[in-house]
């Protein structure tokens, strides 16, 4: 096998196509009758949001590279850029068609059986029609601004992902102009779902779509004209921001200027009602400079994600997941001082099974502790009203040295992060935006405390964001420690981010873009050597995405040498498992469950002396070479045992696991009746028994 070329394109999948397959797995949850009905609806909405982001970023990027005359191959497949785009269109159309089939054939009938109804126009009673007409005249008509289209009124700028209607008219207006076309834009402030009042409802939860109401009474927008056709449409635009960081003097101001352009980037997809006449579709395609393959005709609302409002509007706990209370580890009972606790032991938190409150308390206690001199923290995704931000503000007002590294370029959270930066700067916090050309994706907090005439470091390192809300439905690890070497490493990384100087040698942590990639390659190669020598060799990796080609190549080489490799990859995976003689020792599984799997864990057997790490980094080029990431060793024996227990549980999962096939498709793991194992359900059950 020494002459085997592991760079062959046949050994790799493209990331965009892999992302489509991930969305298929999410969508499949909407058809799973073992899941509560309103949660199935939520999965449908999530799949819709995922598809939006796929078009806004990934497919927009493919189209942009094509327009710029990209190189012959965009990805690792034997496919030209045009072929990749065509295959993406085919697969995306399949997913969208399946979304609406699931909605119309499975979810809407099931919701109706539970007395949750969406009334169509031909089903309205006389009383409902009268009420809706009044609602339209009083609540909608004053807000809507129909735009006639003629040489003096060109096609308007259409906001990204907004609800709009294309209208064909007949007759003459007040100025004698013959009817033609018009566009009606639905302001985002309007609710997309309208609930009937009790007195005209057929049940406890009767709704009508905003689009149906506008359809029904559109002629009131065009007095004296006849509406021949009116059909909803939505356009998706390229939403990736571009800021030339080498040229700008103030990244915050530059990003603020770019945010508005996100709403009006190049069009990449047109969604339109499936009964819209072809001549109107052709007109919209021309206006948005799209092609036929960019059109998605749908049987239902053009934005499925708006259906998510139903989950909150309908008071049916029996149709939702059973609520749970995250576990508060006993060591935190009685309001103990966390820094005193960390002098004795390291602490691991596994969210959402463990409460996020200890992380908040860590910063809260530091903010009011007179012996704490400084707090340093990275923020990637959070909100301006976050309790953590509140305590950082409090610490600054108490005169502590507070430094916060805010990643303004966290995609789709830029505006919220700008608000956080402004709020912190107002109270004197040192706010840094990281390193030009490198996103700061590391999740770390450092507290510096004076104790007996010396300074002591207390650290929190995590795999996820400092966001109390997402900690309720993302699985993430967070480790709290006062380990001297780790504290010094974190301090050095903060110096890198806020100051200037050479790369400092770290004692414990691995860091992108400096040491993490090379360390991973060395550890995989070490497992390969051990296997060749007949020594125990095993690799377990749990990440969100596996894309980086050299790491995949190293995994192939290790597999060929006999290393057992288990990969738990939630989303994109460009590695092909189960190729005879290449990756037949590699299993790839994806866990799609109640919580979004977000932990990053790396395990290397190392001849019976395992290396175990948690990290903020996925195995992607951007994480390893274009971001500041941290990877921290798990050395405490109790914490190691717990994480390895969790990994093995995920490897046994036969309920929420999908097994990747050599052709890139996924097959849901199966189990005998009564022998199902769900890692997430098991971890939730452990909360109840403690």
The neighbouring-strand residues paired with 440 are: 628
The neighbouring-strand residues paired with 449 are: 372, 456
Whole-angstrom Cα distance, residue 570 to residue 543? Answer: 7
The neighbouring-strand residues paired with 540 are: 566, 603
What SS3 class is residue 570?
coil
Would you give the end-to-end CA distance of the chain in angstroms?
A: 52
CB 76 within 8 A of CB 60: no
Active-site residue identified among 231, 350, 441, 457: 441
Where b means 16+ CB within 10 Å and e means fewer, 156-174 reads eebbbbbbbbbbbbeeebe
Whole-angstrom Cα distance, residue 444 to residue 615? Answer: 11
153: annotated active-site residue? no
Angle of CA points 662, 90, 556, to nearest 5°: 20
CB 540 within 8 A of CB 647: yes
Whole-angstrom Cα distance, residue 486 to residue 483? Answer: 5
Asked if omega into 608 is within 30° of 0 (cis), the reply is no
Whole-angstrom Cα distance, residue 144 to residue 163? Answer: 12
Whole-angstrom Cα distance, residue 629 to residue 438? Answer: 10
What SS3 class is residue 670?
coil
Helix axes 81-101, 60-67, angle to 10 degrees: 150
Whole-angstrom Cα distance, residue 690 to residue 686? Answer: 6
Q: Which residues are catalytic?
A: 441
């Amino acid at each position: 096998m020494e002459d085997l070329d592991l760079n062959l394109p046949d050994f790799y999948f493209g990331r965009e196509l892999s992302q489509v397959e991930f969305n298929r797995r999410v969508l499949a949850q909407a058809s799973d009758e073992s899941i509560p009905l309103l949660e199935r609806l939520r999965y449908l909405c999530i799949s819709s949001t995922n598809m939006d982001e796929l078009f806004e970023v990934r497919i927009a990027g493919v189209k942009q590279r094509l327009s710029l005359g990209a190189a012959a191959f965009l990805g690792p497949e034997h496919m030209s850029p045009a072929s990749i785009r065509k295959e993406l269109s085919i697969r995306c159309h399949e997913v969208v068609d399946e979304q609406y089939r699931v909605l119309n054939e499975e979810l809407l009938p099931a919701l109706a059986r539970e007395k949750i109804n969406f009334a169509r126009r031909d089903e309205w009673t006389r009383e409902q029609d009268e009420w809706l007409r009044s609602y339209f005249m009083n609540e909608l008509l004053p807000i809507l601004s129909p735009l006639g289209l003629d040489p003096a009124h060109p096609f308007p700028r259409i906001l990204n992902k907004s609800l709009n209607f294309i209208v064909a008219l007949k007759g003459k207006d007040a100025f004698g102009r013959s009817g033609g076309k018009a566009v009606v834009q639905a302001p985002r402030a309007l609710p997309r779902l309208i609930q009937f009042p009790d007195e005209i409802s057929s049940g406890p939860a009767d709704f009508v779509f905003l689009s149906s109401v506008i359809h029904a009474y559109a002629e009131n927008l065009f007095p004296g004209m006849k509406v021949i056709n009116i059909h909803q449409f939505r356009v998706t635009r390229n939403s990736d921001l571009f800021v030339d960081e080498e040229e700008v003097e103030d990244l915050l101001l530059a990003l603020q200027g770019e945010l508005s352009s996100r709403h009006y980037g190049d069009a990449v997809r047109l969604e339109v009602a499936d009964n819209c006449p072809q001549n109107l579709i052709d007109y919209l395609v021309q206006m948005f400079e799209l092609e036929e393959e960019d059109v998605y005709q749908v049987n239902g609302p053009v934005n499925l994600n708006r259906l998510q409002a139903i989950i909150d509007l309908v008071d049916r706990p029996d149709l939702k997941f059973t609520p749970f209370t995250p576990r508060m580890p006993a060591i935190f009972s009685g309001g103990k001082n966390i820094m005193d606790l960390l002098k004795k032991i390291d602490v691991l938190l596994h969210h959402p099974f463990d409460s996020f409150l200890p992380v908040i308390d860590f910063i809260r206690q530091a903010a009011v502790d007179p012996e704490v001199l400084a707090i340093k923290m990275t923020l990637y995704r959070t909100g301006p009203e976050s309790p953590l931000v509140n305590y950082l503000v409090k610490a600054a007002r108490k005169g502590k040295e507070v430094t916060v590294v805010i990643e303004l370029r966290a995609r789709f959270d830029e505006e919220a992060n700008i608000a956080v930066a402004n709020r912190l700067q107002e109270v004197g916090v040192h706010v840094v935006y990281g390193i030009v050309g490198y996103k700061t994706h590391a999740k770390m907090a450092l507290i510096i405390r004076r104790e007996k005439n010396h300074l002591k470091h207390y650290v929190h390192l995590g795999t996820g964001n400092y966001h109390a809300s997402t900690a309720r439905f993302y699985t993430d690890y967070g480790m709290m420690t006062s380990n001297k070497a780790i504290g010094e490493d974190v301090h050095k990384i903060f110096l890198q981010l806020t100051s200037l100087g050479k790369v400092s040698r770290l004692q414990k942590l691995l860091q992108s873009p400096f040491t993490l990639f090379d360390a991973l390659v060395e550890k995989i190669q070490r497992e390969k050597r051990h296997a060749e020598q007949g020594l125990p060799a095993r690799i377990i990796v749990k990440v969100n995405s596996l894309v980086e080609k050299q790491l995949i190549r190293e995994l192939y080489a290790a597999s060929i040498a006999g290393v057992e490799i288990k990969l738990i990859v939630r989303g994109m995976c460009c590695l092909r498992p189960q190729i005879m003689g290449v990756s037949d020792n590699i299993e790839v599984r994806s866990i799609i469950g109640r919580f979004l799997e977000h932990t990053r864990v790396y395990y290397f057997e190392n001849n019976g002396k395992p290396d175990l790490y948690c990290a903020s980094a996925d195995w992607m080029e951007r994480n390893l070479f274009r971001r500041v990431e941290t990877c921290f060793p798990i050395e405490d024996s109790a914490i190691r045992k717990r994480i390895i227990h969790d990994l093995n549980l995920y490897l046994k999962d036969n309920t929420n696991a999908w097994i990747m096939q050599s052709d890139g498709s996924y097959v849901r793991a199966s189990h005998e009746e009564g022998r199902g194992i769900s890692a997430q359900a098991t971890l939730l059950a452990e909360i109840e028994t403690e």
